[in-house]
Amino acid sequence: MRRALQRPGLTVAALSGLFLASLAIYPFVGLSFFPRTDAGQFTINLKVPTGTRIELTDQYVARVEDLIRHQIRPGDLNMVVSNIGVVPDFSSLYTTNAGPYTATIQVSLQDSHQIGSFEYMRRIHREIASQYPEMRTFFSSGSMVDAILNSGMPAPIDVQVSSSSLHRAYNVAQDLAAGIRKLEGVGQVYVPQDMNYPAVRVDVDRVHAAELGLSPKEITDNVITALNSNTMIAPTIGWTIRPATTTSSRSSITSTASRPFTARST
pLDDT of residue 225: 76
Average pLDDT (150-173) is 85
Put the strands of the sheet holding 77-84 in their side by side order.
Answer: 77-84, 102-109, 41-47, 136-141
Q: What is the per-residue pLDDT for 87?
A: 80
- Report the alpha-carbon distance of residue 65 to residue 33 in Å, rounded: 32
- Region 212-231 average pLDDT: 79
Using one digit for the tens of pLDDT, what is the confidence trace for 75-109?
999 999 999 998 877 777 788 888 899 999 999 99
Closest CA to 242 of 250, 230, 224, 233: 230
- Is the pLDDT assigned to residue 143 strictly greater than 90? no
Q: Which residue has the higher pLDDT, 27 or 114?
A: 114
Given pLDDT bands bounded at 50, 70 and 90, which one contains residue 40?
Answer: confident
Rounded-to-integer distance, Cα 146 and Cα 71, Å = 24
Q: Looking at the predicted structure, is the pLDDT value of residue 181 above 60? A: yes
The mean pLDDT value for 125-139 works out to 92
Q: Which CATH number fits domain 41-150: 3.30.70.1430, 1.25.40.20, 3.30.870.10, 2.40.30.10?
A: 3.30.70.1430
Instruction: Look up residue 165 and give its DSSP letter.
Output: -
Residue of 70, 68, 152, 150 lying closest to 103 (CA atoms): 68
Q: Is the pTM above the cut of 0.85?
A: no
Return the pLDDT at 103: 94
Domain-wise residue ranges, the chain: 41-150, 159-197, 206-257
